[in-house]
Amino acid sequence: MTPNKVKRYLKAIRLAAPDPEHAHGLEDKMRGAILEAISRGRCDDPEECARIALTSDEIDFPRWCA
């Protein structure tokens, strides 16, 4: 995982924001992928990846679980 890959996830989430269910799914997928990469030692810059990923909270779409 690289900071640039996290930024690509964020772009996809922004584009999906009109479909909140899809955007929320992508956000969950991104966060899971980052945690997986960190846990396996496959993250170039864990702190930066996490910092960038947390900015997804600023993307405006409803988040809920059924």
Helix or strand or coil: residue 23?
helix
Q: Under a CB-based contact definition with an 8 Å cutoff, are residues 54 and 18 in contact?
A: no
pLDDT of 24 reads 96
pLDDT of 48 reads 97
pTM of this structure? 0.92
Please compute Rg for the chain using Cα positions.
12
Q: Which two tokens stand for residue 43?
A: 């993250």
pLDDT of 65 reads 77
- Domain locations in the chain as residue ranges: 3-57
- Residue carrying structure tokens 């690509």: 8
Mind listing the pLDDT tens digit of every residue in the chain (66 residues)? 999 999 999 999 999 999 999 999 999 999 999 999 999 999 999 999 999 999 999 999 999 877
